[in-house]
Structure 1
Amino acid sequence: MDFLRLPPPLRRALLTQPAVHTFLRRLTTTTTYTPHPNNEPPPPLPPTPAHPALLTLSSTTLNEYAIAVPPNNLQLKYAYSFFTAAAPLFLYCAAHFRTFPMTPHPEVAFLGRSNVGKSSLLNALFGRTNAKDAHVSKRPGRTRTMNGFGISGGLAPGQAPKEGEKEAAWKRFPRGGCVVVDMPGYGSGSQELWGREAMKFLEGRKQLRRTFVLVDAEHGLKRTDVQLLTHLRRQGISHQIVLSKVDKLLYPGAKPPGPVRLSNGLLKVKDLCGSIRETLNREAGDGRKPMLDILCCSAEKGLDERNRHRRLGVDEVRWAVLSTCGLESDEQGLKKRVWTQDVKVLEDDE
């Protein structure tokens, strides 16, 4: 009700009432009223804020970076070129930890539950989806040994040793590369012996820089995943979670999704990453909430229609491997200069 538009006699009568008079005094001290000339309608209300912009596919929206700095496009291209410049060199195969060769190269390990897509991801990392260096099988437990693959970045290998190229291939591997170790899967189809030898490697290998643990994005954490990740955390072993088969959440169909559906899928991935963090912090029981980077990828689906050979999130995994081994590039995508000469220890003269 507009008080000023009431007839004057009624306004004077209302003003004589103490309660109405007190109410109007409070109203005029807190708000001001400016009548519109010629009874014009009041100005329109300000427009409501627009809806948040839809999420688009990028390194920061696909992955959860809490510690590392997300790579830019030039750095991702460098990682792609490093891994695909030359075919991976099969260096060694070890069924027991004691049979591992004492190589001087930095190593990273990939492991996960049986049929989590580990072998498919490794082939995508190597850019060898057709050659399939890592054995791919629908039958759980296909990988039974710990296999090392050398990524040289295009550096030429050395000459074959006298005892033969196959038996000591790691001796030909050049300095400036890294070794990716394909570990046996755990869970269904695995054997207790493989698990014991794998844990010896994870806990005792001095060359190991980081362990990448694959988790199925479609099914989330399993009990065996939680047990392994909690053990690595308590033992202080450097590790990182990689969500495989993330295309099941983003676009399970044959064609890439539209903007709205893609944005909703990215939100689902973020919710899953948050749930994984909460579960691991709760299961650890140490009262700490450490930061954790989570990478998301797919070995099956490409980034878009024009780049089907570039798998979803695989370049980010490549970059994480290079960064862990100290082989990353600068922000311009140029290789960093490192001092690769052997260090000679000079003994004091007696």
Structure 2
Amino acid sequence: MNTIPVCRRSASRVSSYTTIRALSSTPNPNSKRELKDLTPTDLCYYWDTKPPSPEQLAFADKVFVPSRHSPLKLWSAAKFRTTPMESLEPEVAFLGRSNVGKSSLLNAIMGQEMCWTSSKPGRTREMNAFGIGGTKGGESKVVLLDMPGYGKASRAEWGAEIMKYLQGRKQLRRAFLLIDSMHGIKQTDAEILRLFRHNAIPHQIILSKVDKFLARKVKQMKTGVTPASLERLHLLLQGIKPIVQPGPGASEGPGALGEILTCSAEAHIGPGRSLGIDAVRWSILSAAGIDGSLEGGRLAVKPPAAETSAAII
């Protein structure tokens, strides 16, 4: 039997080369990831819903592209009884503590400076409605409500008017509650969640200022996010889940929608784009029943349906 002579030295070189190549192709568990490369699965927590696909995120961004007819300031009201009752567009409301950065977030969502921002909390003193996705001679696809903040810099009577709106507004599809990711759920936030459940108001949680949670300093954020920081974020979201969606025996009503979003209006990841905003936009459209399909050449809007803690709109 003929044998093929093997050069031990050559074989050793091949083995060493293969080992080095394998090590170089193995991902470094400590390597950072750029903000623009983070997906909703990295930043958010979905357990009753599915993460949006890249196509769905692109569709949501397209709907929110500013134009001559979108976004538009539709109305302001200090009392529920003065809100326009004849409007038919689906509405979503944004609530949060007076220092949570709600106005900045809404500006990032709308892609334009529509809400007045200030370094002093509590500057929003009325309910302000903004129409999104409108065309010439056409109604808006969805209306965003900027509600007065609650907490230290708020007024007690605003809370009563906000609850009147949330309970009595037939066009309301979902209330988005903003929580500061650095401070977590405060007592006033927990009380709002209890009122949501007690009155069966469909609601969802969004953690704002997540860039400050992922990196303590701006310089650190510029170089990317470490896997350890993302893991710490996921642990935070998992810890919040039982609070926002308690079990049937521990709650007097339906809990929040089964997804927790995170975002930052200040962390820019490209022209006109901020961290996590596209996922928030998709959730707004989902709440309004807009899924990107077409009927008769127009965007299809599903009829309103009651949300439960496990519902996917």
Q: TM-score, normalised by structure 2?
A: 0.77
**1-structure distance, mates of 2:123, 2:65:** 25
Give the counterpart letter for 1:297 in structure 2. Answer: C
Pair 339,150 (structure 1): closer, same or farther in 2 beyond 3 Å: closer
In terms of fraction of residues, the more strand-rich structure is 2
Pair 337,180 (structure 1): closer, same or farther in 2 beyond 3 Å: closer
Pair 268,190 (structure 1): closer, same or farther in 2 beyond 3 Å: same
Q: Which residue of 1 aligns with 2:146?
A: 182
Q: Which residue of 1 aligns with 2:258?
A: 292
Give the counterpart letter for 1:100 in structure 2. Answer: T
**Alpha-carbon displacement from aligned partner over 1:163-209 (angstroms, at most 9, x marks no partner):** xxxxxxxxxxx235110000000001111111100010011111000
Pair 1:233 & 2:176 matched? no
Q: Which residue of 1 aligns with 2:96?
A: 112
Pair 1:79 & 2:79 matched? no
Is residue 230–residue 284 contact of structure 1 (8 Å, CA) maintained in 2?
A: no
Pair 1:338 & 2:273 matched? no
**2-structure distance, mates of 1:178, 1:337:** 12
**1-structure distance, mates of 2:39, 2:92:** 25
**2-structure distance, mates of 1:339, 1:287:** 31
Pair 92,64 (structure 1): closer, same or farther in 2 beyond 3 Å: same
Q: Report how far residue 257 of structure 1 moved.
A: 5.7
**1-structure distance, mates of 2:73, 2:254:** 39
Structure having the higher Rg: 1
Q: Which residue of 2 aligns with 1:24?
A: none
Give the counterpart letter for 2:250 in structure 1. Answer: G
Pair 1:135 & 2:116 matched? yes
Give the counterpart letter for 2:55 in structure 1. Answer: L
Q: Report how far residue 52 of structure 1 moved.
A: 9.6
Match among 275, 279, 295 for residue 316 of structure 1: 279
Structure 1 unaligned residues grouped into runs of 5+: 1-49, 159-173, 341-350
Q: Report how far residue 141 of structure 1 moved.
A: 1.3
**2-structure distance, mates of 1:123, 1:51:** 37
Is residue 64–residue 132 contact of structure 2 (8 Å, CA) maintained in 1?
A: yes
Pair 1:218 & 2:185 matched? no
**1:201 aligned counterpart, secondary structure:** helix
**2-structure distance, mates of 1:151, 1:287:** 34
What pairs up with 1:135-214 in 2 under 5 angstroms?
A: 135-153=116-134, 155-156=135-136, 158=137, 174-175=138-139, 177-214=141-178
Q: TM-score, normalised by structure 1?
A: 0.69
Is residue 132–residue 144 contact of structure 2 (8 Å, CA) maintained in 1?
A: yes
Q: CA RMSD in A?
A: 2.8
Pair 134,268 (structure 1): closer, same or farther in 2 beyond 3 Å: same
Q: Which residue of 2 aligns with 1:325?
A: 288
**1:209 aligned counterpart, secondary structure:** strand
Match among 202, 217, 230 for residue 266 of structure 1: 230
Q: Report how far residue 67 of structure 1 moved.
A: 2.1
Q: Which residue of 2 aligns with 1:279?
A: 243
**Alpha-carbon displacement from aligned partner over 1:12-34 (angstroms, at most 9, x marks no partner):** xxxxxxxxxxxxxxxxxxxxxxx
Pair 208,284 (structure 1): closer, same or farther in 2 beyond 3 Å: farther
Pair 233,139 (structure 1): closer, same or farther in 2 beyond 3 Å: same
Q: Report how far residue 286 of structure 1 moved.
A: 3.0
What pairs up with 1:37-116 in 2 under 5 angstroms?
A: 57-86=38-67, 87-102=70-85, 103-116=87-100
**1-structure distance, mates of 2:252, 2:230:** 29
Aligned length: 264
Is residue 107–residue 114 contact of structure 2 (8 Å, CA) maintained in 1?
A: yes
**2:273 aligned counterpart, secondary structure:** coil
